[in-house]
């Protein structure tokens, strides 16, 4: 009996992807898990969405983050807490070597091949690309409601 109660109170860590959320100090996290199908005897990937407390706003949309369950729910929805950002979205860095990666090759190897064989016209220049998050805090037009056409008889109740 004591082991069962200890198992319920033990902290559990999950790896998930941060998705867009409307909550102020919380991040919505998509956690993947494998669910077993008894009929086919196979595992299939399913996703659960949880809210994690993020008062320092560590994570942004697309980041892979580590979350842990809270011993007591913070609110009705917020049941987890952000521990750290494991992989930020954007330029991928190999965790072992610390080198930047393009698909399956190191970026410096690709740049060296471009020097040897010449750079193509359609090749992307990573050194001139802006860093992720440069438009953060700048208002765009997504906060405005859009009318698709002007008609006084139609109120367009389901506008974006």
Return per-residue pLDDT of the chain as tens, 160 residues. Answer: 455 555 555 569 999 999 988 888 899 999 999 999 999 999 999 999 999 999 888 888 889 999 999 999 999 999 999 999 998 888 788 889 989 898 889 999 998 998 899 888 888 888 888 877 676 677 666 556 666 667 777 766 555 4
- Please give the pLDDT value at position 160: 47
Give Dmax (Cα) for the chain: 69
Could you tell me which of 64, 62, 61 has the C-alpha nearest to residue 14? Answer: 64
CA 124 – CA 99 distance, rounded (Å) = 18
Tokens 């809210």 found at: 51
Q: Are the C-beta atoms of residues 46 and 33 closer than 8 Å to each other?
A: yes
- Please give the pLDDT value at position 23: 86
State both tokens at 63: 């980041």
Could you tell me which of 72, 87, 10, 22 has the C-alpha nearest to residue 49? Answer: 22
Domain 10-87 has CATH 1.20.1250.20: no
- Please give the pLDDT value at position 42: 97
- Please give the pLDDT value at position 119: 85
CATH 2.40.50.140: which residues of the chain?
A: 10-87
- Please give the pLDDT value at position 145: 62
């Amino acid at each position: 009996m004591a082991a069962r109660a200890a198992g319920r109170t033990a902290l559990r860590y999950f790896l998930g992807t941060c998705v867009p959320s409307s909550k102020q100090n919380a991040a919505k996290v998509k956690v993947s898990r494998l669910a077993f199908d008894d009929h086919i005897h196979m595992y299939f990937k399913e996703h659960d969405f949880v809210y994690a407390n993020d008062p320092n706003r560590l994570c942004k949309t697309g980041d892979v983050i580590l979350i842990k369950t809270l011993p007591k729910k913070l609110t009705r929805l917020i049941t987890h807490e952000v521990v750290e950002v494991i992989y930020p979205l954007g330029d991928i860095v190999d965790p072992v070597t610390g080198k930047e990666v393009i698909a399956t090759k190191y970026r410096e190897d690709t740049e060296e091949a471009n020097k040897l064989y010449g750079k193509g016209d359609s090749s992307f220049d990573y050194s001139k690309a802006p860093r992720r998050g440069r438009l953060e805090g700048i208002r765009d037009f997504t906060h405005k409601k859009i009318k698709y056409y002007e008609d006084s008889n139609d109120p367009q109740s389901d506008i974006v």
